[in-house]
Amino acid sequence: MTTRLGIFWGTGRFERDRDAGYGIFRTKDGQFLTLAIAHEDWFWDRLCTAMGLPECQGIRALERRRRRPELSEKMQRLFLKKPREEWLKVLQEADVPVAPIKSPEEIEQDPHVRFRKMIQEISFPSGEKIKQVGFPMKLSDMPDKMRRPPPKLGDHTDEILKSLGYTEREIEGFKKEGVI
């Protein structure tokens, strides 16, 4: 959003059109990758070289936005010729901003996600266990483990109703009537 907000604050217009080199593409093996060329001409030219699109080199950012449908379709056809891992290798070696779009299973096995403890298992008092996304900020004096599970549906109903001014007796009545 940095680029979009800068344009908005400078012009008052919020543009939704994007560079042809910014988006998600399917590869031959049915996997996906994402490109993040926001407006940088040098990344675009590297992408064109790596993908074998010399006729597209030199197309500047504004023109890429205007021709997005045509250029994106051309790139998509090429991405369907190789599996994701091959494209990642080619594009990373060419210094193109690219990343895999991972499945939930791949995310769980990602070494960085594991190292940062971004998936944590939490136990409820009943013994039931669930997985939760860990807190993304890691500070030296802050525990990196979730200490308690999220509330179950209805866990705070009484507390909320009391904060709204209902009495214990009214809350019990709601329960008997099946309102809560």
pLDDT tens per residue across span 122-140:
888 899 999 999 888 888 8
Beta-carbon contacts of 86 under 8 Å, excluding residues fewer than 6 positions away, are none
* Of 32, 67, 101, the domain-final residue: 101
pLDDT tens per residue across span 163-173:
999 999 999 99
pLDDT over 80 at 146, yes or no: no
What is the DSSP-derived secondary structure letter of residue 27? -
pLDDT tens per residue across span 84-97:
999 999 999 999 99
Residues 87 and 9 in one domain: yes
Residues 38 and 88 in one domain: yes
Mean pLDDT of 138-147: 80
Residues 71 and 113 in one domain: no
Residues 117 and 87 in one domain: no
Residues 113 and 87 in one domain: no
% of the chain with per-residue pLDDT over 70: 97
pLDDT over 90 at 145, yes or no: no
* Of 86, 101, 116, the domain-final residue: 101
pLDDT over 90 at 17, yes or no: no
Q: Which domain holds residue 45?
A: 2-101
pLDDT at 80: 98
Beta-carbon contacts of 131 under 8 Å, excluding residues fewer than 6 positions away, are 119, 120, 121, 122
Residues 121 and 157 in one domain: no
**Domain count for the chain:** 3
Confidence of residue 157 (pLDDT cuts 50, 70, 90): very high
Q: What is the CATH number of the domain that holds 85?
A: 3.30.1540.10
Residues 111 and 180 in one domain: no
Mean pLDDT of 151-155: 88
Confidence of residue 1 (pLDDT cuts 50, 70, 90): low
Beta-carbon contacts of 143 under 8 Å, excluding residues fewer than 6 positions away, are none
pLDDT at 140: 84
Residues 88 and 37 in one domain: yes
Residues 17 and 57 in one domain: yes
* Of 66, 101, 136, the domain-final residue: 101
Starting at the earlier edge strand, list the strands of the sheet with 98-101.
22-26, 32-36, 98-101
Decide: pTM greater than 0.75. Answer: no
Query: Please, where are the H alpha helices in the chain?
Result: 2-11, 41-51, 61-66, 68-79, 84-93, 104-109, 111-115, 157-163, 168-177
Residues 6 and 58 in one domain: yes
Residues 145 and 156 in one domain: no
Residues 97 and 107 in one domain: no
